[in-house]
């Protein structure tokens, strides 16, 4: 476990180093966009198809998705109640609600589960994210961003779901799986070649997104509830509902580990688009990610 997390931390550190040193004059934000676009539109969909084509789909998939959705919705409610009680400024409240509720289930969760549980656990991360977290983010999350943001954008969030390549890949993978379509050796190797760079590129781009430049002294009090909800309360809630639904063994461990992930990086794009406090959200991602490098191994040791 120690070797796994030091290797992951080293890949994240490569991204941080890029942000600091700007090789050949290319800053991290300029490089991260094409890198994440490549992963999001081509490489990750290939991995999703590869995994879901052969993953066991059934009641367990429903249990994983329900536990994930329960965790996100519960975190949304807890964050909303707390920041409403504190009379938090409107656009800051929206930012913190998103940061508290949506975990980095793919960009961080996928490599964690693959490394600590094995390749088979990739399907847990993909189902946790694409069957629950991402649909909720692009519907409920967008509605929250529209309500609390300053840009006044009004879009149909369900239309946005149709523009997500990994979700289309999930539909294709599930259809091929349920249709029992055989996978040729050529297709297996081709999808494997596309999928192989996903994890290192995701971790490097995660490091590129971490930044302290937006830090303000009063952020500490604002972010403490986000960190408690995201890294402690949500995993406990997901643990309870996943166990009650009948999940057990390594699948249960995988689902709980997904709930321990830090704040979702994709939220930065949503904050930019709808006029929320992007700097504050970036600090939430940075803090939760750095703390998670310690908290996730602790969770894993407790679970095993």
CA–CA distance, 50 with 122 (Å, rounded to integer): 10
DSSP 245-264: HT--HHHHHHHHHHHT--B-
CA 243, CA 63: separation in Å to the nearest integer? 10
**Counting beta carbons within 10 angstroms of the beta carbon of residue 87, is it exposed (0 to 12), middle (13 to 18) or buried (19 or more)?**
exposed
Chain CA centroid to CA 270, Å:
14
Averaged pLDDT, groups of 10, the chain, 304 residues long: 77 89 86 86 91 88 95 96 91 93 90 90 92 91 88 67 85 92 92 90 84 76 94 96 94 96 87 86 90 93 90
Per-residue model confidence (pLDDT) at position 4: 73
pLDDT value for 258:
96
Question: Given this model, what pLDDT does residue 79 score?
Answer: 96
- d(Cα 126, Cα 133) in Å, to the nearest integer? 10
Domain ranges of the chain: 32-303
The pLDDT of residue 229 is 97
- Residue 154 confidence (pLDDT): 67
Give the tens place of pLDDT for each residue, 268-302: 888 888 888 888 998 899 899 999 999 999 999 99
Rounded to the nearest 10°, the torsion over CA 88, 92, 93, 98 is: -160
pLDDT score recorded for residue 69: 96
- DSSP H helices, 39-89, are 44-54, 59-85
Q: Would you state the structure tokens that stand for residue 255, as one six-digit string?
A: 């689902």
Q: 32-303 — its CATH code?
A: 1.20.1530.20
Length of the chain: 304
DSSP string, the chain: -HHHHHHHHHHHHHHHHHHHH-GGG--HHHHHHHHHHHIIIIIHHHHHHHHHHHS--SHHHHHHHHHHHHHHHHHHHHHHHHHHHTT--HHHHHHHHHHHH-B-TTTTHHHHHHHHH-GGGHHHHHHHIIIIIHHHIIIIIHHHHHHH-SS-----HHHHHTT-HHHHHHHHHHHHHHTTPPPPHHHHHHHHHHHTTHHHHHHHHHHHH---TT--TTHHHHHHHHHHIIIIIHHHHHHHHHHHHT--HHHHHHHHHHHT--B-TTHHHHHHHHT--HHHHHHHHHHHHHHHHHHHHHHHHHH-
- Residues 63, 248 contacting (CB under 8 angstroms): no
Which of 234, 223, 242, 200 shows the shortest CA–CA distance to 285?
Answer: 223
Contact (Cβ atoms closer than 8 angstroms) between residue 116 and residue 1: yes
């Amino acid at each position: 476990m120690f070797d796994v997390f030091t290797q992951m931390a080293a890949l994240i550190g490569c991204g941080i180093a890029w942000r600091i040193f700007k090789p050949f004059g290319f800053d991290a934000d300029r490089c991260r966009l094409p890198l994440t676009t490549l992963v999001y539109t081509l490489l990750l969909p290939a991995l999703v198809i590869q995994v879901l084509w052969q993953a066991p789909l059934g009641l367990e998939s429903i249990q994983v998705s329900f536990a994930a959705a329960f965790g996100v919705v519960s975190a949304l409610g807890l964050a909303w109640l707390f920041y409403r009680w504190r009379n938090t400024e409107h656009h800051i409240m929206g930012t913190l609600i998103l940061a508290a509720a949506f975990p980095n289930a793919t960009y961080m969760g996928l490599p964690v589960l693959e490394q600590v549980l094995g390749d088979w656990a990739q399907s847990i991360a993909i189902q946790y994210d694409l069957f629950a977290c991402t649909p909720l983010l692009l519907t409920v999350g967008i509605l929250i961003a529209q309500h609390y943001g300053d840009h006044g954008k009004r879009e149909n969030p369900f239309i946005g779901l149709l523009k997500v390549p990994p979700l289309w890949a999930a539909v294709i993978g599930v259809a091929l799986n349920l249709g029992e379509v055989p996978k040729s050796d050529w297709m297996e190797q081709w999808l494997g070649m596309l999928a192989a760079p996903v994890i290192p590129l995701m971790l490097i781009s995660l490091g590129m997104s971490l930044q302290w430049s937006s830090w303000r002294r009063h952020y500490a009090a604002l972010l403490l509830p986000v960190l408690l909800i995201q890294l402690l309360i949500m995993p406990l809630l997901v643990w309870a509902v996943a166990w009650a639904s009948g999940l057990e063994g390594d699948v249960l461990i995988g689902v709980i580990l997904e709930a321990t992930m830090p704040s979702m990086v994709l939220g930065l794009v949503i904050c930019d688009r709808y006029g929320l406090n992007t700097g504050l959200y970036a600090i939430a991602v940075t803090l939760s990610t750095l703390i998670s490098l310690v908290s996730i191994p602790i969770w894993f040791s407790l679970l095993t």
